[in-house]
Structure 1
Amino acid sequence: MISKIMLKLLFLALFFGGFQMSAQETKFEGDPDASFEIARNLAFNQQRKQAQDTLLFILTTYPNYHDIRSFLATTYSWDGDYKKARKEFNYVLEKDIENKTTWIAAIKNELWGDLPFAALEMTNNALKIFPKDTELLYLKASAQENSNNTLEALSTIQLLLDTNPEDQKAKDYKANLNNGLSQNAIGITSSVDLYSDVFDPMQYHALMYRRQTKYGSIIGRVNFNRRFNENGVQYEVDLYPKITKGLYAYVNFGIASTFLFPDIKYGAELFKSLPKSFEISLGFRTLKYNTTTNIYTGSLGWYTGNSYLSFRPYFTPGVTGTSISGTFTYRKYRSDADNYLGVAVSMGFSPEINQFAIDENAAKFVALEAQRINLGYYFTSSNKQNAWGTQLAVTHQEIIFDQGNFFWIYSLVLSWELKFK
């Protein structure tokens, strides 16, 4: 890899050696291949503007050097300037319609520019020239999926697999498409909390059904809790309505007739996507026992590569003042959103996080000290239909009726989910 200092020196050499400049015009008279190589190195070393200037200079003398123009278009696409990239790609394809590399780059430009129908039209035209080409079929399936034609995408990827049955990338993509077509899911979650002092082990179980609709997902849940030698059931529903592109909501409602759960719980939150892969939210939760506890919350999340980081604070007014707590979460994704390793670190007591840890009185005295770390691992079967998860958590928490003293809570959570059409 050429160092950045060397690249700058080579770039200066192009101006003072390879280019002949006059007051009236600028004309490239150097070695186009050598200059192209320098421009590529500049582009791959985050010096895209210098690379683009170099490529444009070469094209003043060699306008039909298609590899250079196609690479220039690709750098525009990397920068998000899809319109400018499209112009250069079209120039090349009009003169060299059998340039498959340019077809592929041009189609990706349309996909990155969120124009899946344009990308689909291009793949159909390219496949007339390169029938059953693996890369083009894969891009066609991507365009069909992005234009909400998942069944057609599945047919396309199957055509690819008929020709190349051992294509692992295509097999994984087919599994993901089938997973997307599975609009229903049922699941079971079981957990146990072991206390170092005061309390006997406590159990929590849930049976879940989820339905994915074009308006968002709906989740129904029956929660069972065993604490203090008592059993209790709660019925709960979660909604994730889509409002518009980049904007969706979370709505929750639950009821119960046992002191182990709030009599009524409800909440809502609004999520908004931001530039640079950030997401922000703002909402509340309400727990109604004999008295009402309101929790105000929000989040700031960031997707970077295969990682996700978020911070969520909680503000809970109570009889002893307002409790402030927060959770930092990190996830490292693997093949998709159902396969990841996660860690969450919490500081402070919040009834939203700790609502199963003690009893209804915890909602009244929220200014307690607590620290918690939670490790989770989630994975799916090869066909993506079955999903499993496991969590291990350790909590150091102040005792509500003996403030100043603490106990440890050791938690184990296991979950399973089955997706089906």
Structure 2
Amino acid sequence: MITKIITKLTFLIVLFGSIQMQGQEKVYNGNPDTSFETARNLAFNQQRKAAQDTLINILSKYPNYNEIRSFLATTYSWDGDYKKARKTFAVVLEKDSRSQDTWIAAIKNELWADLPYAALEMTNNALKKFPHNAEFLYLKASAEESTNNPLDTLSTIQSILNQNPDDQKAQDYKKSLNTLLRKNSIGINASVDLYSSVFDPMQYYSIKYSRQTKYGSITPKLNLNRRFNENGAQFEVDLYPKIRKGLYAYVNVGVANSFLFPDVKYGAELFQSLPKSFEVSAGFRTLKYSSTTNIYTGSIGWYSGNSYWSFRPYFTPGETGTSTSGTLTYRKYRSDADNYLGISVGMGFSPEFNQFAFSATDPAIVNLESQKFNIGYYFTTANKQNAWGVQMGVAHQEIIFDQGNFFWIYSLALSWDLKFK
């Protein structure tokens, strides 16, 4: 019995001693500045776990080395661990509230965490300690913009320009805000289709007004057409309601009293953002002439840098089967969404875009062959207030009443939009 007790005590003493020795081995004994530099190099070379281990080891002996703790919090923020970063930044600011770099990093952490109101509160606190500091004013402007307060953002940027009228960054920011504040626009589109045979030239005109709201955009339009020696008009409305972050819809309704247009048209589509800069959608279009045509469509889009790719198929059920068509689109953006080069190629016939094929007495024929190519260039004036566009296209289209024979269609379109507050 005594032997067993002695054995157990010996085991516990050895175990305790081993643990103590391991703990002693973890005690930091190096040069903190040299180790800090090493940790920084590791962090900047995508070895953040090793960098964090080194920083924590240094802090075990130098807990008041605030610059190291602040950098540790920054690495957490880079990793997306915003909550852990927030707690670590709070420890530093509690000890040293005059550390400007820590304030900046902590505010950016809230912005990256998509907590703009928390970031705004922090910038206001920082500006009490560093009045009129341009860096904090920029961060405040970013937070205000993220809370959908462009007027407050403009006021903050203007305070920077009041101190330094030559601040180019503030000047550019102000220009972009003025563009953002232009929530209204009017626009005119004009296009013509020239046919190699059968049809005379066809003219298309559109006048629109658009308004951006916090719920999405609304665009009423008046479409005017000159076709078959007849004139026709159509009124339609496009809506892009926001549902939640990453999800929005497209809704369209149109009416007309001319055979050049469907009597009634309507459609809807849902768009959902996906990881890796992808977006998908699914919806329908309905055209009511003497009979009703339903078109089912969707899209898959991908943003890569300043490039955008999209493929959109159309499926149109009919008496002779389901007609299928599709369009592949590529856009190369420049400074913003209003400045880009666009190219599209398509195959197949879709009545959404070939509405002239239907009349009040003829049934919808959709199983036609067609190939098309379009190229367009869109640009704005220096102040972003005027947006212009020119588009040219060519299509090889099967004749609707003489299937098996084709004509060529050459298209030219011009557009102009004026944006205002």
TM-score by length of 2: 0.85
1:315 aligns with 2:329: no
2:397 aligns with 397
* Letter in structure 1 aligned against 2:191: S
2:337 aligns with 337
Identity over aligned pairs, percent: 73
Counterparts of 2:406 and 2:21, CA distance in 1: 80
Structure 1 stretch displaced more, 256-265 or 83-92 = 83-92
Q: Secondary structure at the match of 1:302?
A: strand
1:367 aligns with 367
Structure 1 stretch displaced more, 229-238 or 320-329 = 320-329
1:151 aligns with 151
* Letter in structure 2 aligned against 1:392: M
1:251 aligns with 251
Counterparts of 1:160 and 1:124, CA distance in 2: 15
How far apart are residue 240 of structure 1 and its match? 1.9
* Letter in structure 1 aligned against 2:128: K
1:212 aligns with 212
Aligned residues: CA RMSD: 2.7
2:6 aligns with none
How far apart are residue 153 of structure 1 and its match? 1.0
Counterparts of 1:306 and 1:66, CA distance in 2: 40
How far apart are residue 323 of structure 1 and its match? 1.7
1:262 aligns with 2:262: yes
How far apart are residue 60 of structure 1 and its match? 3.6
- Report how many residues are paired: 400
C-alpha contact 1:247 1:273 (8 A) present in aligned 2: yes
1:178 aligns with 178
How far apart are residue 362 of structure 1 and its match? 9.4
C-alpha contact 1:248 1:272 (8 A) present in aligned 2: yes
How far apart are residue 211 of structure 1 and its match? 2.0
1:23 aligns with 2:9: no
Counterparts of 1:311 and 1:117, CA distance in 2: 38
* Letter in structure 2 aligned against 1:128: K
1:348 aligns with 2:348: yes
Cα deviation per residue 1:302-358 (whole Å; 9 max; x = unaligned)? 3444443332221111232112222233333333332333333323221223335x5
Counterparts of 1:57 and 1:371, CA distance in 2: 67
* Letter in structure 2 aligned against 1:227: R
* Letter in structure 2 aligned against 1:73: A
Label 1:73 to 1:193 Cα distance change in 2 as closer, same or farther (>3 A).
farther
Following superposition of structure 1 onto structure 2, how do residues 9-408 of structure 1 map, counting pairs within 5 Å?
A: 23-24=22-23, 26-30=26-30, 32-33=32-33, 35-355=35-355, 358-360=357-359, 364-408=364-408
Counterparts of 1:371 and 1:38, CA distance in 2: 61
Counterparts of 2:195 and 2:328, CA distance in 1: 24
Structure 1 stretch displaced more, 272-281 or 200-209 = 272-281
* Letter in structure 2 aligned against 1:102: T
Counterparts of 1:293 and 1:54, CA distance in 2: 67
How far apart are residue 265 of structure 1 and its match? 0.5
C-alpha contact 2:290 2:363 (8 A) present in aligned 1: no
C-alpha contact 2:273 2:280 (8 A) present in aligned 1: yes
C-alpha contact 2:249 2:269 (8 A) present in aligned 1: yes
Label 1:105 to 1:389 Cα distance change in 2 as closer, same or farther (>3 A).
farther
Larger Rg: 2
Structure 1 stretch displaced more, 254-263 or 85-94 = 85-94
C-alpha contact 1:285 1:294 (8 A) present in aligned 2: yes
2:3 aligns with none
Counterparts of 1:247 and 1:22, CA distance in 2: 57
Label 1:346 to 1:40 Cα distance change in 2 as closer, same or farther (>3 A).
farther
Contiguous gaps of at least 5 residues in structure 2: 1-19
C-alpha contact 1:240 1:249 (8 A) present in aligned 2: yes
Counterparts of 1:317 and 1:153, CA distance in 2: 51
Which contiguous aligned blocks of 4+ residues in structure 1 show a shift greater than 6 angstroms?
Answer: none
Label 1:80 to 1:397 Cα distance change in 2 as closer, same or farther (>3 A).
farther
Label 1:76 to 1:400 Cα distance change in 2 as closer, same or farther (>3 A).
farther
Cα deviation per residue 1:273-303 (whole Å; 9 max; x = unaligned)? 3344433322110011121110111222334
Counterparts of 1:134 and 1:416, CA distance in 2: 38
Q: Secondary structure at the match of 1:353?
A: coil
C-alpha contact 1:378 1:387 (8 A) present in aligned 2: yes
Counterparts of 2:332 and 2:40, CA distance in 1: 31
C-alpha contact 1:362 1:400 (8 A) present in aligned 2: no
Structure 1 stretch displaced more, 50-59 or 284-293 = 50-59
Counterparts of 1:50 and 1:411, CA distance in 2: 61
Q: Secondary structure at the match of 1:341?
A: strand
Q: Secondary structure at the match of 1:283?
A: strand
How far apart are residue 46 of structure 1 and its match? 4.2
C-alpha contact 1:74 1:85 (8 A) present in aligned 2: yes
Q: Secondary structure at the match of 2:70?
A: helix
* Letter in structure 2 aligned against 1:23: Q
How far apart are residue 246 of structure 1 and its match? 3.1
C-alpha contact 1:267 1:285 (8 A) present in aligned 2: yes
C-alpha contact 1:351 1:363 (8 A) present in aligned 2: no
Counterparts of 2:317 and 2:21, CA distance in 1: 73
Counterparts of 1:134 and 1:268, CA distance in 2: 46
